[in-house]
Structure 1
Amino acid sequence: MSLSVGDVAPEFSLPDQDRQVVSLTGLRGTPVLLVFYPFAFSRICTGELCQLRDELATYTDAGVRVLALSTDPAPALKAWREQEGFDFALLSDFWPHGAVAQAYGVFNDKAGMAVRGTFLVDAEGRIAFTEVNGPGDAREQSGWKDAVAQLAA
Protein backbone atom coordinates (compact mmCIF):
# COMPACT_ATOMS: atom_id res chain seq x y z
CA MET A 1 0.00 0.00 0.00
CA SER A 2 1.41 3.36 -0.92
CA LEU A 3 0.13 6.64 0.42
CA SER A 4 -0.58 9.66 -1.75
CA VAL A 5 -0.97 13.36 -1.11
CA GLY A 6 -4.43 13.94 0.35
CA ASP A 7 -4.70 10.53 2.03
CA VAL A 8 -5.40 10.36 5.75
CA ALA A 9 -2.13 9.55 7.53
CA PRO A 10 -2.27 6.20 9.35
CA GLU A 11 -2.49 6.63 13.12
CA PHE A 12 0.25 5.30 15.34
CA SER A 13 1.47 5.30 18.92
CA LEU A 14 5.16 4.48 19.36
CA PRO A 15 7.73 4.83 22.12
CA ASP A 16 10.47 7.40 21.65
CA GLN A 17 14.09 6.98 22.69
CA ASP A 18 13.05 7.54 26.33
CA ARG A 19 10.13 5.09 26.04
CA GLN A 20 7.60 7.94 26.16
CA VAL A 21 4.68 7.16 23.84
CA VAL A 22 4.12 9.58 20.97
CA SER A 23 0.90 9.34 18.95
CA LEU A 24 -0.03 11.06 15.74
CA THR A 25 -3.49 11.83 17.15
CA GLY A 26 -1.83 13.60 20.09
CA LEU A 27 -0.12 15.92 17.62
CA ARG A 28 -3.27 16.83 15.68
CA GLY A 29 -3.33 20.57 15.01
CA THR A 30 0.43 20.55 14.35
CA PRO A 31 2.05 19.61 11.04
CA VAL A 32 4.42 16.65 11.44
CA LEU A 33 7.36 15.54 9.30
CA LEU A 34 7.77 11.76 9.51
CA VAL A 35 11.21 10.56 8.45
CA PHE A 36 11.48 6.76 8.21
CA TYR A 37 15.03 5.40 7.98
CA PRO A 38 16.58 1.90 7.97
CA PHE A 39 18.94 1.75 10.96
CA ALA A 40 20.48 3.89 13.69
CA PHE A 41 24.27 4.28 13.52
CA SER A 42 24.44 3.43 9.80
CA ARG A 43 26.42 5.79 7.56
CA ILE A 44 23.70 7.13 5.27
CA CYS A 45 21.09 7.38 8.05
CA THR A 46 23.54 9.25 10.26
CA GLY A 47 24.30 11.68 7.43
CA GLU A 48 20.62 12.31 6.73
CA LEU A 49 19.60 12.80 10.34
CA CYS A 50 22.63 15.00 11.10
CA GLN A 51 21.61 17.24 8.19
CA LEU A 52 18.09 17.28 9.61
CA ARG A 53 19.54 18.19 13.04
CA ASP A 54 21.64 20.98 11.54
CA GLU A 55 18.71 22.41 9.58
CA LEU A 56 16.00 21.72 12.18
CA ALA A 57 15.06 25.42 12.44
CA THR A 58 13.76 25.23 8.86
CA TYR A 59 11.02 22.96 10.16
CA THR A 60 10.47 24.18 13.70
CA ASP A 61 10.29 27.84 12.62
CA ALA A 62 7.43 26.79 10.31
CA GLY A 63 5.67 25.09 13.24
CA VAL A 64 6.44 21.56 12.03
CA ARG A 65 7.23 18.78 14.52
CA VAL A 66 9.93 16.38 13.28
CA LEU A 67 9.79 12.67 14.13
CA ALA A 68 12.29 10.08 12.88
CA LEU A 69 11.17 6.43 12.84
CA SER A 70 13.02 3.14 12.52
CA THR A 71 12.64 -0.48 13.57
CA ASP A 72 15.49 -0.11 16.08
CA PRO A 73 14.74 -0.71 19.79
CA ALA A 74 14.41 2.34 22.06
CA PRO A 75 17.74 1.82 23.93
CA ALA A 76 19.68 1.92 20.65
CA LEU A 77 17.84 5.08 19.62
CA LYS A 78 18.63 6.71 22.96
CA ALA A 79 22.36 5.98 22.56
CA TRP A 80 22.37 7.26 18.97
CA ARG A 81 20.44 10.43 19.90
CA GLU A 82 22.90 11.20 22.70
CA GLN A 83 25.91 10.50 20.45
CA GLU A 84 24.67 12.73 17.62
CA GLY A 85 22.84 15.41 19.63
CA PHE A 86 19.52 15.05 17.83
CA ASP A 87 16.90 17.52 19.12
CA PHE A 88 13.92 15.64 17.69
CA ALA A 89 12.28 12.41 18.79
CA LEU A 90 13.45 9.05 17.48
CA LEU A 91 10.52 6.64 17.49
CA SER A 92 10.90 2.87 17.79
CA ASP A 93 8.77 0.82 15.40
CA PHE A 94 10.36 -2.30 16.89
CA TRP A 95 7.28 -4.21 18.02
CA PRO A 96 5.10 -5.28 16.42
CA HIS A 97 8.11 -5.17 14.13
CA GLY A 98 7.69 -2.49 11.48
CA ALA A 99 3.91 -2.18 11.87
CA VAL A 100 3.91 1.59 11.34
CA ALA A 101 6.34 1.39 8.43
CA GLN A 102 4.03 -1.23 6.91
CA ALA A 103 1.01 1.07 7.35
CA TYR A 104 2.90 3.82 5.50
CA GLY A 105 4.05 1.41 2.77
CA VAL A 106 7.75 1.77 3.56
CA PHE A 107 8.65 -1.58 5.16
CA ASN A 108 11.08 -3.97 3.49
CA ASP A 109 9.89 -7.30 4.87
CA LYS A 110 12.85 -9.27 3.50
CA ALA A 111 15.34 -7.04 5.33
CA GLY A 112 13.09 -6.32 8.34
CA MET A 113 13.58 -2.56 8.10
CA ALA A 114 11.96 0.65 7.00
CA VAL A 115 13.10 2.14 3.72
CA ARG A 116 13.69 5.88 3.36
CA GLY A 117 10.16 7.23 3.38
CA THR A 118 9.35 10.86 4.14
CA PHE A 119 5.83 12.13 4.83
CA LEU A 120 4.65 15.60 5.72
CA VAL A 121 1.34 15.34 7.58
CA ASP A 122 -0.70 18.53 7.76
CA ALA A 123 -2.43 19.79 10.91
CA GLU A 124 -5.65 17.95 9.96
CA GLY A 125 -3.85 14.60 9.62
CA ARG A 126 -3.61 14.35 5.82
CA ILE A 127 -0.52 13.62 3.77
CA ALA A 128 0.74 16.90 2.26
CA PHE A 129 4.01 15.49 0.82
CA THR A 130 5.41 12.02 0.29
CA GLU A 131 8.70 10.69 -1.00
CA VAL A 132 10.13 7.17 -0.87
CA ASN A 133 13.76 6.30 -1.59
CA GLY A 134 15.45 2.92 -1.61
CA PRO A 135 17.57 1.82 1.37
CA GLY A 136 20.90 2.81 -0.23
CA ASP A 137 19.69 6.06 -1.79
CA ALA A 138 20.34 9.12 0.39
CA ARG A 139 17.51 11.64 0.30
CA GLU A 140 17.73 15.13 -1.09
CA GLN A 141 15.95 17.18 1.57
CA SER A 142 15.09 20.21 -0.57
CA GLY A 143 11.72 18.67 -1.49
CA TRP A 144 10.77 18.45 2.18
CA LYS A 145 11.70 22.07 2.73
CA ASP A 146 9.66 23.19 -0.26
CA ALA A 147 6.64 21.23 1.04
CA VAL A 148 7.02 22.77 4.50
CA ALA A 149 7.26 26.26 2.99
CA GLN A 150 4.08 25.67 0.95
CA LEU A 151 2.26 24.33 4.00
CA ALA A 152 3.34 27.34 6.08
CA ALA A 153 2.30 29.83 3.39
Structure 2
Amino acid sequence: MTTATDTSQPITVGDLAPDFTLKDQNGQDVTLSSFRGEKNVVIVFYPFAFSGICTGELCEIRDNLGAFVSDDVQVLAISCDPMFSLRAFADKEGYFFPLLADFWPHGEVAQAYGVFNDKAGMSVRGTFLVDTEGRVRWSLVNAPGEARDFSGYHEALASLA
Protein backbone atom coordinates (compact mmCIF):
# COMPACT_ATOMS: atom_id res chain seq x y z
CA MET A 1 0.00 0.00 0.00
CA THR A 2 1.35 3.40 -0.95
CA THR A 3 0.52 6.21 1.44
CA ALA A 4 -0.61 9.55 0.12
CA THR A 5 1.47 12.65 0.61
CA ASP A 6 0.16 15.50 2.74
CA THR A 7 -2.63 13.45 4.29
CA SER A 8 -3.26 11.91 7.64
CA GLN A 9 -2.89 8.16 7.78
CA PRO A 10 -5.64 6.29 5.93
CA ILE A 11 -8.10 4.38 8.07
CA THR A 12 -7.16 0.73 8.40
CA VAL A 13 -8.78 -2.67 8.20
CA GLY A 14 -10.90 -3.25 11.29
CA ASP A 15 -11.70 0.45 11.81
CA LEU A 16 -15.28 1.65 11.86
CA ALA A 17 -15.76 3.51 8.58
CA PRO A 18 -16.48 7.21 9.13
CA ASP A 19 -20.12 7.91 8.28
CA PHE A 20 -21.01 10.57 5.74
CA THR A 21 -23.83 12.03 3.71
CA LEU A 22 -22.93 13.47 0.31
CA LYS A 23 -24.88 14.52 -2.78
CA ASP A 24 -24.69 12.25 -5.81
CA GLN A 25 -24.55 13.42 -9.41
CA ASN A 26 -28.34 13.81 -9.38
CA GLY A 27 -28.44 15.95 -6.23
CA GLN A 28 -29.71 13.11 -4.02
CA ASP A 29 -28.29 12.56 -0.53
CA VAL A 30 -26.41 9.28 -0.08
CA THR A 31 -25.51 8.21 3.47
CA LEU A 32 -23.02 5.43 4.13
CA SER A 33 -24.77 4.19 7.28
CA SER A 34 -28.00 3.66 5.31
CA PHE A 35 -26.40 0.50 3.89
CA ARG A 36 -25.63 -1.02 7.31
CA GLY A 37 -27.19 -4.39 7.84
CA GLU A 38 -28.08 -4.62 4.16
CA LYS A 39 -25.09 -4.21 1.83
CA ASN A 40 -21.33 -4.15 1.81
CA VAL A 41 -20.04 -0.91 0.30
CA VAL A 42 -16.94 -0.30 -1.77
CA ILE A 43 -15.89 3.34 -1.46
CA VAL A 44 -13.73 4.50 -4.35
CA PHE A 45 -12.03 7.87 -3.87
CA TYR A 46 -10.61 9.34 -7.08
CA PRO A 47 -8.86 12.66 -7.78
CA PHE A 48 -10.84 14.33 -10.58
CA ALA A 49 -13.71 13.79 -12.98
CA PHE A 50 -12.69 13.72 -16.65
CA SER A 51 -9.03 12.88 -15.90
CA GLY A 52 -7.44 9.94 -17.73
CA ILE A 53 -6.67 7.39 -15.02
CA CYS A 54 -9.85 8.20 -13.07
CA THR A 55 -12.00 7.78 -16.17
CA GLY A 56 -10.34 4.44 -16.91
CA GLU A 57 -10.91 3.17 -13.38
CA LEU A 58 -14.55 4.20 -13.30
CA CYS A 59 -15.06 2.68 -16.75
CA GLU A 60 -13.69 -0.58 -15.33
CA ILE A 61 -16.39 -0.38 -12.65
CA ARG A 62 -19.03 0.51 -15.27
CA ASP A 63 -17.97 -2.33 -17.55
CA ASN A 64 -17.95 -4.86 -14.67
CA LEU A 65 -20.85 -3.38 -12.72
CA GLY A 66 -22.11 -6.76 -11.51
CA ALA A 67 -18.90 -7.17 -9.49
CA PHE A 68 -19.47 -3.82 -7.75
CA VAL A 69 -23.25 -3.47 -7.48
CA SER A 70 -25.55 -6.33 -6.51
CA ASP A 71 -28.00 -7.36 -3.81
CA ASP A 72 -24.98 -7.65 -1.49
CA VAL A 73 -22.71 -4.74 -2.49
CA GLN A 74 -22.92 -1.08 -3.54
CA VAL A 75 -20.17 1.06 -5.04
CA LEU A 76 -19.85 4.73 -4.05
CA ALA A 77 -17.32 6.75 -6.05
CA ILE A 78 -16.20 9.99 -4.35
CA SER A 79 -14.24 13.00 -5.61
CA CYS A 80 -13.88 16.63 -4.53
CA ASP A 81 -15.56 17.80 -7.74
CA PRO A 82 -18.85 19.74 -7.55
CA MET A 83 -22.07 17.83 -8.12
CA PHE A 84 -22.71 19.47 -11.51
CA SER A 85 -19.32 18.34 -12.84
CA LEU A 86 -20.08 14.82 -11.66
CA ARG A 87 -23.42 14.91 -13.48
CA ALA A 88 -21.72 15.88 -16.74
CA PHE A 89 -19.05 13.20 -16.16
CA ALA A 90 -21.66 10.49 -15.43
CA ASP A 91 -23.73 11.47 -18.47
CA LYS A 92 -20.71 11.50 -20.79
CA GLU A 93 -19.33 8.15 -19.62
CA GLY A 94 -22.59 6.31 -18.86
CA TYR A 95 -21.97 5.83 -15.14
CA PHE A 96 -25.13 4.54 -13.47
CA PHE A 97 -23.71 4.24 -9.97
CA PRO A 98 -23.42 7.04 -7.42
CA LEU A 99 -20.69 9.61 -7.99
CA LEU A 100 -20.55 11.60 -4.75
CA ALA A 101 -19.41 15.20 -4.41
CA ASP A 102 -17.03 15.78 -1.48
CA PHE A 103 -16.87 19.39 -2.63
CA TRP A 104 -17.83 21.40 0.45
CA PRO A 105 -16.54 21.47 3.06
CA HIS A 106 -13.82 20.70 0.54
CA GLY A 107 -12.55 17.14 0.94
CA GLU A 108 -14.07 16.61 4.39
CA VAL A 109 -14.89 12.94 3.78
CA ALA A 110 -11.55 12.26 2.07
CA GLN A 111 -9.87 13.82 5.12
CA ALA A 112 -11.84 11.55 7.46
CA TYR A 113 -10.59 8.53 5.48
CA GLY A 114 -7.01 9.88 5.39
CA VAL A 115 -6.87 10.18 1.59
CA PHE A 116 -6.95 13.96 1.06
CA ASN A 117 -3.92 15.68 -0.45
CA ASP A 118 -3.95 19.19 1.07
CA LYS A 119 -1.44 20.68 -1.35
CA ALA A 120 -3.32 19.53 -4.45
CA GLY A 121 -6.83 19.97 -3.01
CA MET A 122 -7.91 16.50 -4.09
CA SER A 123 -8.32 13.00 -2.81
CA VAL A 124 -5.83 10.36 -3.80
CA ARG A 125 -6.93 6.95 -5.05
CA GLY A 126 -8.26 5.24 -1.94
CA THR A 127 -10.45 2.16 -2.03
CA PHE A 128 -12.22 0.83 1.06
CA LEU A 129 -14.47 -2.21 1.37
CA VAL A 130 -16.92 -1.62 4.23
CA ASP A 131 -18.91 -4.61 5.50
CA THR A 132 -22.55 -4.62 6.54
CA GLU A 133 -21.54 -3.77 10.12
CA GLY A 134 -19.74 -0.62 8.98
CA ARG A 135 -16.19 -1.93 9.45
CA VAL A 136 -13.41 -1.61 6.91
CA ARG A 137 -12.57 -5.12 5.68
CA TRP A 138 -10.04 -4.22 2.95
CA SER A 139 -8.30 -1.08 1.75
CA LEU A 140 -5.83 0.11 -0.86
CA VAL A 141 -4.39 3.60 -1.25
CA ASN A 142 -2.50 4.61 -4.38
CA ALA A 143 -0.40 7.72 -4.96
CA PRO A 144 -1.36 10.27 -7.64
CA GLY A 145 -0.63 8.94 -11.12
CA GLU A 146 -0.72 5.32 -9.89
CA ALA A 147 -3.75 3.34 -11.12
CA ARG A 148 -5.42 1.01 -8.66
CA ASP A 149 -5.69 -2.74 -9.05
CA PHE A 150 -9.17 -4.00 -8.14
CA SER A 151 -8.11 -7.68 -7.89
CA GLY A 152 -7.56 -7.46 -4.13
CA TYR A 153 -11.02 -5.96 -3.75
CA HIS A 154 -12.59 -8.90 -5.58
CA GLU A 155 -10.75 -11.36 -3.31
CA ALA A 156 -11.82 -9.44 -0.18
CA LEU A 157 -15.42 -9.32 -1.34
CA ALA A 158 -15.41 -13.06 -1.97
CA SER A 159 -14.17 -13.62 1.59
CA LEU A 160 -17.28 -11.86 2.96
CA ALA A 161 -19.62 -14.37 1.31
Same fold (TM over 0.5): yes
1:26 aligns with 2:34: yes
Q: Is the 8 A contact 1:59 1:148 kept in 2?
A: no
1:45 aligns with 2:54: yes
Q: Is the 8 A contact 2:61 2:68 kept in 1?
A: no
1:109 to 118, 136, 145: 118
Offset of 1:97 from its aligned partner? 0.1
Q: Is the 8 A contact 2:128 2:139 kept in 1?
A: yes
Which amino acid in 1 is paired with 2:131?
Answer: D
Offset of 1:62 from its aligned partner? 6.3
Offset of 1:87 from its aligned partner? 1.6
Offset of 1:137 from its aligned partner? 0.1
Match of 1:139 in 2: 148
Q: Is the 8 A contact 1:6 1:128 kept in 2?
A: yes
**Percent identity among equivalent residues?**
59
Q: Distance in 2 between matches of 1:2 and 1:59?
A: 22
Which amino acid in 1 is paired with 2:87?
Answer: K
Match of 1:64 in 2: 73
Q: Distance in 1 between matches of 2:47 and 2:10?
A: 18
1:87 to 96, 109, 112: 96
Which amino acid in 2 is paired with 1:12?
Answer: F
Match of 1:11 in 2: 19
Report the number of matched residues.
152
Offset of 1:60 from its aligned partner? 2.5
Point out where structure 1 has 5 or more consecutive residues left out of the alignment. none
1:54 aligns with 2:63: yes
Offset of 1:2 from its aligned partner? 2.2
Which amino acid in 1 is paired with 2:89?
Answer: W
TM-score by length of 2: 0.92
Structure 1 stretches of at least 4 aligned residues deviating more than 3 Å after TM superposition: none
TM-score by length of 1: 0.96
Offset of 1:139 from its aligned partner? 0.7
Q: Distance in 1 between matches of 2:71 and 2:60?
A: 17
Q: Distance in 1 between matches of 2:77 and 2:42?
A: 8
